[in-house]
Structures are given as C-alpha cells and as structure tokens.
Structure 1
Amino acid sequence: MAYSYLFSLSLCFLVLFHGCLAQLEQVTGQSQRQQQQRFQTECRINNLNAQEPGRRVESEAGLSEYWNRNDEQFRCAGVDLVRHTIQRRGLLLPSFSNAPRLVYVVQGRGLHGAAIPGCPETFQSESSSQFRGEQGSQRLSRDQHQKVREIREGDVVAIPAGVAHWIYNDGESQLIVMILYDTSNQANQLDENARRFYLAGNPHQQQQGGRQRRRESWPGSRSRSRSQSPEERERSQQSGSNIFSGFDEEFLADSFNIDNELAMRIQNRDDQRGIIVTVEDELRVLSPQSRGEEREERGLDRDNGVEETFCTLRLKHNIADAQRADVYNERGGRITSLNSFNLPILRYIQLSAERGVLYRNALVAPHYNLNSHSVIYVIRGNARLQVVGENGQNVFDGEIREGQALTVPQNFAVIKKAGNQGFEWVAFKTNDNAKINALAGRLSTMRALPEDVLINAYRIDREEARRLKYNRDETTLFSSDSSGSPRRRD
C-alpha cells in the first residue's frame, strides 16, 4: 500500500516536472524567437543587385574587403560580409564580435584558432614538445593553449558570438576567407551592426592612414539627412585601437601582473601594420604528431551526442569534397549541404551553409528557401540568376560572377543557370537546418499536385498536365536540355 502510494506520488511529480519543463521550453522558445526578430528590418525588396565589396582596407600582410552593410538586401537578411586575403606568413589578429560568424575558406590553407571562454587549454607542454613550424617538427619550451585547427579550401568554420579567433597562412599561396556575420542572431544584444573587438593591433591607424593610404568610401553611396551618414557610422564603429588601449596602463599592469612598459606595448597605439600582420619567423603552435584531424575532415568519425561538450564541439567541416555531395547529377553538377546534423555547433549559432557546383549550361531547379535567407557568394565562374518575389515580381534577372554576392530572401523563388565556364558558389543560410522546396523536378511541388488541380489551375489538358509533372525526372540539378550535353566528371 505504501509502495503504491509512493509510486503514484512519484508519477505525479514526474508528470508535473515534464509539464513545467515543456512550458519552460515553450516560453524560452518564444522569447528566443522574439529576440531573433529584434533587429530584423522589413524586407521591402523591389530590386536586387549582385554586389562586390565597396571598401578595401590594406594591412601589412593582406587585404580586407567589406560589403556595404547598408544595402537593403543585407539589411533584410541581417548579415554583414567581409573577405580577407592573407599573404604567406600573414596573421589575422585575434578579435571577437557581437554576432556569430561563419568562415568559408575560398582558397589556400592555414591555421585557425578559437579561444572559447571557460574552456581549458588542452594542448599543453611542460618542458618540451612538438610544434608546427617552418622546419617541421621541432622542440618548444613550455606552453599551453586551446586547440588549433588546420584549415583548407572548402572548410566552413563556425564561430559563436563573443569567441575570439585568429587565422594564420602557413601555406605557399594566398589564403582567402569569406566571413558572414549574422547580426540578426539572438546572441546579438547590441544593434544591427557587426562590431569587431580586436585584442591586438591598431585598426584606427590602419584606417586613418599609417604607412599606406586606404580607400574607404562606398561607391555610389548617398548622403542622408541625419546627424551621421551610414558611411560615417561605419567608420566611427571601426575606428579606434584594440580594446586594451582604452584601459589605463596601470590597471592593465595590475591585471596581468606585468610592468607598465609591457602593458603599454599590448595597447599597440603606435602600431601601423593593420589587422593582418607579418609573422617574422614562423608561427609556432603545439600540434600532436598524429594527424587526427584528417579523420574529422574525411568524416571517418561519428558524433554520438555524448563525447561532444561545448568545449569539444567541432568547429569546422569541409563541403568542397565531391564525395560528400548530397545531390549529384553527372551532367548537372553537385550540391553539398552543411547543417546542425553534420556540424552540431551550428545548432547554437543558427546558421548553415551550402556548396554548389554547376557544370556548363546546367540548371538548378527553381526553388525557394522555406525557413531562411540565403546569401550567395560566387567562388568561380558565372551564372544567370532570376529571383522572383511575391505577386510574381521579378527582383533580379542578370549575371552573377566570381567575387560577387547576392541575397535571396526567404520564400523568394530563384533559378540558376551556369555560364560556359560553369558556376561554383557557397551559400550562407540563416537557419541551422535550412530547407528548400523545388518547384520543378521529381521531388517538386508540381509533382505532388494532382493532375486535375493542374488542369484547372492552368487551363491545360491532361496530356499537358502530365508533361508538366513528369518531363523532368531529375531532382534538383538539371542538365541543360533533354537531349543531353557532354558529360563531365570530377
């Protein structure tokens, strides 16, 4: 009897607990969704344009190019775009941001480090250890730091808001990285602008002149009748030195237990090298002898949800490998998707990506993004794109080529056709599990509709309805015509 009473009481508590938990999750989810919309502007898009960077800022060992964040399409998506070109032995100085970031490696290889707050320095050396350097494996005196990752072309690296990261080019060619900042993300508590907080360097000297003259104007920008124009606001947000320069050197000396001279040196007030600096000899970091990350890059390990704590979450995944393609047509091309299922950290930052390759004159089926905006960056080649909004309004019909970016807003329909040189792109998406819906092809909306619905909707006969439904048996990627085109293989 007592056992039955205790069991019933325990069951009631269990039901009550789960009910409260579900209610808490629902309230939390609603709060997060409201926070997500906090800085989102209305997407009143009547015309889209393929955009190139509007501002170029040179550094000692590289070039930083910024897209105009005030362009309506980027404000609609709530994103900011930057491209860094890092020369050999160039170091992009550590910085953190109010917005989460996705980094895509367009070209080259290098090292990437992220300092995740509260996580231990798991790479340690007591007296001597192996390190990566110009001469290969050598000995290094005592050091410890968080994990440093090798990056290469096709890698996507996820950086949560507030996490400082740096990039170093240890290859023989230029390292080019494309970075998207998601300023509309719920993690951003400031405003719709991406703010970069540098731990070193002197961005103010970099942008105000220094040893080199910089061009900082937005081409085609218009002045506005307010106290500060968008261009001036952009420069004022970027001006200033690293965050340590705002502190008194005595406070810094006390904080780090160092002398005042060293405290003044980390403020970098007279540093004119910019945000990408040359490493004098070679960057030396701790690295295990076994190349365990090759297993990660090749997908030979599988996440089981137990071993991945926040501190050990994988930050990168390669989407350029043809063997990882999710959609493949031997005459059309391939598409590889990256989401929170194959890179779990994306669940935290609510972003995903897609890498596509279209062969010459091939098409991507007309489709729309169900739950995200899509920011397309062209890696190579060119294509003709058409984007259609509500009420059948054509908002873009033109060519997009290498180095340009274009936003396709949520639910706007888009079709892509590659040019004679083919077309390669990476698309950043503002949802960790972005979905598309095709409007033509075997898995399309048209295939799912009954014939009689098509007959009456379009005033066509049954034979025409069947051709509309079944003439394309491909899924997402289409060859240029039904007769077939010369086959290409990777």
Structure 2
Amino acid sequence: MSTVCSSRFFVGLCFLVLFHGSLAQLPGRLSGRSECQIEQITAREPNRRQVSEAGFSEFWDSGENEELDCAGVQVVRHTINPKGLLLPCYPNTHELVYVVRGEGLQGTVLPGCAETSEGGTDKHQRVYRYREGDILALPAGAVHWTYNHADKPVVLVALRDTSNVANQLDRNFRKFFLAGNPQSQMPQGKGHQGKQQQRPSWSEPKEHEGFNMYAGFDDGILQQVFDVEYEIVSQLKGFNDDRGLIVLAEYLHVLVPEEGEERRRDDNWIEQTICSTQLSANIGSPVGADVYNPRGGRISRLNSHKLPVLESLQLSAERGVLYKNAVLAPHYNLNAHSIIYITSGNSRLQIVGNDGSAVFDGEVQEGQLIVVPQDFAVIKKAGEEGCEWVAFKTNDNAITMQLAGRFSYIRALPEDVLVNSYNISPEEARNLKYNRKEGVVLSPRSRSPLKEAQNALLNTLFG
C-alpha cells in the first residue's frame, strides 16, 4: 500500500512540476511584429463566421487586421444557443473570455487532477457555473468545453494571446479539437437563424481546416487503448459529423456544486494548489467597482491580485460603464495593449499616437472591436445611450497613466513646471491642476451659452 501511495505521490508531483511550469513560465510576451507603422486604427466587426448546429462563431482575424497583428492577439465571439455544447478542445495559447450575455456551465480539465465530482457511475473533474459579466481564464493546453443549460443564447467574447510565451511554436493560433468534425460548417438556413447570417462579405472558415485529434490515429490502436468496438472508434474520429463546433445536446447532465457551495477538498496538497485554482471572477456587477462616479459611471478591473491565475496567463480585464455624455479621462497604458469590445451603446473615441496625430477619431458601436496600442493615449465620450465595454489587456497587472483629472500627471507636477511647459500664468496653471475634482470617470459638464459661443469662435479662429 505504501508503494502505491508513494507512486501516486511521485506521479502527482511530476504533474505539479510540469503543469505549473507550463503556466508559470518566465513572465512576458513574445515580441510582436518587428515593425508596426500604425497610422490609422479602425473599429472593426468580425470578418469571418462559422455556422454550427447549435450556434455560430465569428472571428476577427489578425492577418486582416494590422492592429491585432501588431498586438499579437486574436479575438472570437461565440453565440451558443440553448442546449448548445462547444466541443472539448485545447488551445495553444492562453485565452481570456468575457460572458457578454447568458449563463452556462464551464469545464476545464487540468492534468493530474482527480475526478472530484461523483454521482452514480460517473466521475469527472469539477464543473463551474458562469453568468453575464464573468471573466473565464482558459490556460494554454488545458482541455475545456462549455454548455448553455439555460433557455437564452450565450454570447462569449474570447481574447487569444498568440504572443504569449506559452505559445512556443509560432504566433499562429491553433485549437486542437477532441471531438466532432471542426472543419464542417452547417448549410445556410440549417443552423443559426438571424440577420447577421446573410452577410455575404465574410469569407469561408480558415481556422479549422482538419478533423479532430483522434482522426489521425490508427483504428486498431484506438480500439486497443480504449478497449472499445470499432463503431465507437468511428464516432470518436467524427469523419461523418457535420454538426460543426457547437452541437445540440438536448440531454446533458453533469454534477455542478451549488452556488456558494465549497468544493470538497482532498487532503492532497497538490490538488489544493493546482486543482482548486479559481478560473473565473465577475466584473459585471456594480458591487465592488474600482471606480464609481454616480453622475458618470464606473470601472471594474480584474488583475492577478484579484484572480491569481492571471499572473500565469499574463492577461487582465477591465469592464467599463459610462452614462449619457460622460467621459473617460484621457489616459494611456504603460505596460499593455488594450483590446476593447463594445458590449452596448456607443461612444466617440479618440486615439493619439506618439507624433501627436489622431490615429482614430470616430464612433464605436455595440459589437465592434478596437485596439489601443501600448502608450497610445485614448479618450472616450459616451453617446446619448451611454456606453459599456470590456477591455482585455496584455499584462496581468496593467497600469494606466491619467492625462487629466484628479489622478493625472498634471496634479503631480509642480505649478512652475506647468507654467513654463505650457507658457501659461500661475493662475491658469492652478486652474489646470485643480478645476476638475473628479478622477477617472468624468461627469458631463454643461457650460453657459456665452461660454460655448466663445469656445466655438476661438476654435474657428485658431483651430
């Protein structure tokens, strides 16, 4: 018995070293393109779609988007219909997923972890619930699947960090499916029904050009290793499966701890450090917002201090809500690119590069994606309906520097530095430093008609 226990401990220890090592590699990201001349940034919608039996997937391809290519990321949006199952797969990069709408079940299989959920004859690794506003962390190489057990569609937006050091082969994204026939696409009209399905400009799927992983193995060997009949091996390979990436699973029952129920922990210290790792957190609720202005909106941030697994992924996220005509103070990211997805409403967005020219000055709307490169300054003003967004950031502890407001660099400078830098009077320097009492989220300011007319005249005369 002691020999068996020692053997299990040794195997578990090996899994700990190997898996933890793969997650906690030397922090950092591979360099992006050697040269990125970003003269213009565009707010983009997906350029490619794949329709499945129980939903559809829309892709922002980095090859057709210079900003995404330079940032070293890709983005996909999955819409999963009720009873839809996104098939088990594992990616070659870390992924960070935001739940735009709906609720469902997420399974992530971590190597070396025991089947802690038991019911009847079935045993499996833990499954957890997710809901709107959740961030899901998917480590590279870990097998994951997701299921919509509710009666409304689930919408997920996922960032794929192809420049992360976890992706050791090259900067291309690869997803290795373990079931189904990922290259198949449902005929138009058979899968998802909706107006976006008719968009003819989208190209044919490129990401999944083969079958699932079992398709490449010999039939006889698979029969031997699984100890099953040939018919099961044929189903495992999925050559004749035309359901796509998201399949209809009318009857899918798994063991899920009730909300708030603590997962049963084993005495094994290995499981307590790896297998119980928290892989999700909510940033959609107003409770716990990091920044709140009752007249302007709120900002909620999720970094590795709040969700430790993000330190291994080298990613973080931010959820923002601006009320009507409110402004997110101008700022820049010191150590990360920011990939912004608009979840509702609209706003005017301006992005300024290192030469002082605007590389983007326009409106961004629900469903659009835009990249703000590291150190590029950005300002956002909500429209009449307000604006909500999620921003994925390529650092687990992304840091911003404010260019206006109570926490800006201007507040930190001596008054005389402002006087001489901007050639203004001491009184004007004090106004610049102290007139705006708010910090990050700025409420709308109304000026008198006379003041507005004076500003308009000055802008006309002096640009």
For normalisation by structure 1, the TM-score amounts to: 0.80
1:454 aligns with 2:433: no
Is the CA contact (8 Å cut-off) linking 1:62 and 1:87 kept in structure 2? yes
Q: Partner residue of 2:228?
A: 258
Q: Partner residue of 1:249?
A: 219
Q: Partner residue of 1:63?
A: 56
Deviation by residue 1:3-49 (Cα, 9 ceiling, x = unmatched): xxxxxxxxxxxxxxxxxxxxxxxxxxxx946x722555433211000
SS class of match (1:322): coil
Q: Partner residue of 1:87?
A: 81
In the superposition, relative to structure 1, how do residues 212 and 174 fare at CA in structure 2: closer, same or farther (>3 Å)? closer
In the superposition, relative to structure 1, how do residues 104 and 212 fare at CA in structure 2: closer, same or farther (>3 Å)? closer
SS class of match (2:185): helix
Alignment of 1:30-429 (within 5 A): 32=26, 36-38=29-31, 40-70=33-63, 71-125=65-119, 141-206=120-185, 235=206, 237-280=207-250, 282-288=251-257, 290-292=258-260, 309-429=273-393
SS class of match (2:39): coil
Segments of structure 2 that go 5 or more residues without pairing to the other structure are: 1-24, 264-268, 449-463
Distance across 1 between alignment mates of 2:186 and 2:162:
23
Distance across 2 between alignment mates of 1:167 and 1:374:
26
In the superposition, relative to structure 1, how do residues 307 and 252 fare at CA in structure 2: closer, same or farther (>3 Å)? closer
Q: Partner residue of 1:468?
A: 432
Is the CA contact (8 Å cut-off) linking 1:40 and 1:184 kept in structure 2? no
In the superposition, relative to structure 1, how do residues 187 and 215 fare at CA in structure 2: closer, same or farther (>3 Å)? farther
Deviation by residue 1:156-184 (Cα, 9 ceiling, x = unmatched): 00011001111111111111111110000
In the superposition, relative to structure 1, how do residues 198 and 384 fare at CA in structure 2: closer, same or farther (>3 Å)? same
In the superposition, relative to structure 1, how do residues 402 and 209 fare at CA in structure 2: closer, same or farther (>3 Å)? closer
SS class of match (1:309): helix
Distance across 2 between alignment mates of 1:452 and 1:355:
37
In the superposition, relative to structure 1, how do residues 474 and 115 fare at CA in structure 2: closer, same or farther (>3 Å)? same
Q: Give 1:212 shift.
A: 6.9
Is the CA contact (8 Å cut-off) linking 2:303 and 2:310 kept in structure 1? yes
Distance across 1 between alignment mates of 2:447 and 2:109:
54
Q: Give 1:68 shift.
A: 2.2
Distance across 1 between alignment mates of 2:138 and 2:34:
24
RMSD over aligned Cα, in angstroms?
2.5
Is the CA contact (8 Å cut-off) linking 1:68 and 1:218 kept in structure 2? no
In the superposition, relative to structure 1, how do residues 324 and 40 fare at CA in structure 2: closer, same or farther (>3 Å)? farther
Q: Give 1:264 shift.
A: 1.4
SS class of match (2:292): strand
Is the CA contact (8 Å cut-off) linking 1:56 and 1:216 kept in structure 2? no
Deviation by residue 1:343-374 (Cα, 9 ceiling, x = unmatched): 01001110000000000000000000011000
Q: Give 1:263 shift.
A: 1.0
Distance across 2 between alignment mates of 1:78 and 1:173:
33
Q: Partner residue of 2:455?
A: none
Distance across 2 between alignment mates of 1:83 and 1:116:
24
In the superposition, relative to structure 1, how do residues 218 and 255 fare at CA in structure 2: closer, same or farther (>3 Å)? farther
Distance across 2 between alignment mates of 1:267 and 1:45:
44
Is the CA contact (8 Å cut-off) linking 1:55 and 1:215 kept in structure 2? no
Opposite residue 291 of structure 2, the aligned amino acid is V
Distance across 2 between alignment mates of 1:483 and 1:326:
29
Distance across 1 between alignment mates of 2:186 and 2:153:
22
Opposite residue 181 of structure 1, the aligned amino acid is R
Distance across 2 between alignment mates of 1:42 and 1:161:
27
Opposite residue 239 of structure 1, the aligned amino acid is E
Opposite residue 134 of structure 2, the aligned amino acid is D
Alignment of 1:19-30 (within 5 A): none
Q: Which runs of 4+ in 1 moved over 6 A?
A: 207-218
Is the CA contact (8 Å cut-off) linking 2:182 and 2:210 kept in structure 1? yes
For normalisation by structure 2, the TM-score amounts to: 0.85
Distance across 2 between alignment mates of 1:388 and 1:359:
23
Is the CA contact (8 Å cut-off) linking 1:39 and 1:191 kept in structure 2? no
Distance across 1 between alignment mates of 2:200 and 2:109:
33
Is the CA contact (8 Å cut-off) linking 1:57 and 1:215 kept in structure 2? no
SS class of match (2:183): helix
Distance across 2 between alignment mates of 1:242 and 1:467:
64
Q: Partner residue of 1:14?
A: none
Opposite residue 62 of structure 2, the aligned amino acid is R
